[in-house]
A and B are shown apart, each in its own frame.
Chain A
Amino acid sequence: MNASPESLSDSPSGSTPDSTLHAFAAGLKAGITSAFIFVTIGTFIGIGALAHDFGFSLAWAVIGTVLIWAAPAQVILMTMMAGGAPLVEIAFATALSGVRLLPMVISTVPMLRGPRTRGYHLIFTAHFIAVAMWVEAWRLLPGVPRENRVVYLNGMGTSFCTVAAVSTVAGFFLAALLPTVLTAALLMLTPLAFLMSVTANARALADRLALPLGLVLGPVLAAYQVQFDLLWSGVIGGTLAYGAHRFRSARS
Chain B
Amino acid sequence: MIMGELWPYLVMVLVGFLPNEVWRWLGLVLARGLDERSEIVVWVRAVATAILAGVIAKLTLFPPGALAGVPLSVRLASIVIGFVAFFLLRRSVLLGVAVGEVVLVAGALLVGL
Give the B-binding residues of A (Cβ under 8 A): 35, 38-39, 42, 50, 52-54, 56-57, 60, 63-64, 67-68, 70, 72-77, 79, 81-82, 87, 90-107, 109-110, 113, 119, 122-123, 126-127, 129, 175, 180-185, 187-200, 202, 204, 206-207, 209-219, 221-222, 229-231, 233-239, 241-242, 245-246
Q: Interface 1/0s, chain B 18-55, versus A by CB < 8 A?
A: 11111111111011001010010111111111111111
Least CB distance from B59 to A in Å reads: 4
Is the contact region of chain A dominated by helix, strand, or loop, or is it mixed? helix
When C-beta atoms are compared, the residue in chain B nearest to A67 turns out to be B17
Flag if B19 contacts A94 (CB, 8 Å).
Answer: yes
Alpha-carbon gap, A242 to B83, bound state (A): 24
Least CB distance from B86 to A in Å reads: 5
Flag if A126 contacts B28 (CB, 8 Å).
Answer: yes
Alpha-carbon gap, A234 to B86, bound state (A): 25
- Other A-B contacts than A100-B49, A180-B66, 9 sampled, CB-CB below 8 A, are A56-B8, A67-B16, A94-B15, A97-B48, A184-B69, A202-B49, A234-B48, A238-B49, A242-B46
Contacting residues, chain B, for A119 (C-beta < 8 A): 28
Flag if A110 contacts B51 (CB, 8 Å).
Answer: no
